[in-house]
Structure 1
Amino acid sequence: MTEQLMVKQERAARTRDTLIRSAAEIFDREGFAVASLTAITTHAGVSNGALHHHFVSKAALTDAVEGAALARLMAVTEAVLPLGASRMQVLVDVTHRLAEALRGDVVLRAGFELNREASRPPHADLCEWWRRWVEETLKQVEAEDELGPGVVAADVVNAVVAATVGFEVLGARDAEWLSASTVSRFWRLLLPTVVPARLLANLDPDGPRLP
């Protein structure tokens, strides 16, 4: 591969990433329905021809935004478990990381917002992926005997997913819903009802302990 070709490919990749981010910013600010390709290209500082070189339609660009958002969500949940840490603490910490990412990453926010767009089926279902991750983590929590007597893992999954997705929705209008203090208060309320008393003192609702 020649140096000239490598430079051309790198430039194309940067343009594609710029268009995805610009689309996310326009979707986040104006909403999917009214966002135009012209507004996106103007915001990105590229021509319509450059956009159509990478994306044949608004639908294709929207799918790319959702795909990029899913990649960011997966990165949030790729937690390295510290030696001796519990899976419940990992769950607490990852919810904090998710809220932090939603506050600062417009592509991730746009991905969740696009999932709620009634006029189109989701290309990458972030909410469902998040639900499955929480479900798998709670299965591990249950296997490690970190749930209290009579606590059903599926009920905890429902509570965590409903709360975190709800924080994302409400955070679109008021960033306080995605603050660390909001997530901490949620866990201070939930942990005593789902975790055995013998383990409660070892859990930190304020997280995160993950790298």
Structure 2
Amino acid sequence: MVKQERAARTRRALIQAAAEVFAEEGFVHASLSTISKRAGVSNGALHFHFANKRMLAEAVEAEAAETLRRITEVAWASQSNSLQRVVDATHELMGILAQDIVVRSGFELAADIARRTESPLRRQWQHWVEDALRRAERSGTLAEGVSWMDGAGVIVAATTGFEVLGGSDASWLSRQNITRFWEILLPRLADRQGLEALMCAGSRPPTAAL
């Protein structure tokens, strides 16, 4: 049990260090020796857990994807209104991107064309938003003339923009900015009768971590 716990800590330290180095240097320029040094482990210990840099990047993305899954699950369970679910999940995701280097690095790796691989992270977010907007349309909570596809497209494009811009300037990810985005979008997106019940600042207080 002690060995298993030590191995789990080492693996976690390597993922954290890899996320930091990938964020600072990019996937191509990041070296395994730099990552192992940052994690405080030997190169041999790194190779025991990860055969190569590609596997480390996949582990970073997998951990970010798990955090994203938890964010969307919490939003879904805590709200019955699909639009409020998307508002809440957006606030939580942007807050986590500002705080958590593993999540931020996971999304940055998704956009790194040098890896020549399609990341599930952004697709995971897109599919969840699309599903929420489809449900909103079926329940009659979208404004007349607005389709779920159009609404989802705008939300995904905007949140991807916040994510990318936030990589170099975290103020883009602030709760104030995301609230303002929803204050502008929701009056066009939501049915007038249900608009007053929607909270642009989110229905839940921000959490430090999930």
Aligned length: 205
Task: Please name the residue that 1:36 is paired with.
Answer: 31
Aligned residue among 5, 16, 21 for 1:21? 16
Is the alpha carbon distance of 1:58 and 1:158 closer, same or farther for their aligned partners in structure 2, counting shifts above 3 Å?
same
CA distance in 2, matches of 1:72, 1:197: 33
CA contact (8 A) 1:67 1:124 kept: no
Moved over 3 A (4+): 80-83, 121-124
* RMSD of aligned Cα (Å): 1.5
TM-score (norm 1): 0.93
Task: Please name the residue that 2:107 is paired with.
Answer: 112
Task: Please name the residue that 1:86 is paired with.
Answer: 81
Aligned residue among 149, 159, 168 for 2:163? 168
1:209 to 2:204 alignment? yes
Identity of aligned residues (%): 46
1:180 to 2:186 alignment? no
Task: Please name the residue that 1:53 is paired with.
Answer: 48
CA contact (8 A) 2:130 2:152 kept: yes
TM-score (norm 2): 0.93
CA distance in 2, matches of 1:136, 1:199: 19
CA distance in 1, matches of 2:13, 2:97: 19
Q: Which protein has the bigger helix share?
A: 2
CA contact (8 A) 2:27 2:115 kept: no
Q: Name the SS of the counterpart of 2:129 in structure 1.
A: helix
**Aligned partner of 1:9: which letter?**
Q
* Gap regions ≥5 residues in structure 2: none
CA distance in 2, matches of 1:15, 1:82: 35
Aligned residue among 99, 109, 113 for 2:94? 99
CA distance in 2, matches of 1:124, 1:67: 10
CA distance in 2, matches of 1:7, 1:109: 31
* Gap regions ≥5 residues in structure 1: 1-5
Q: How far did 1:60 drift?
A: 1.2
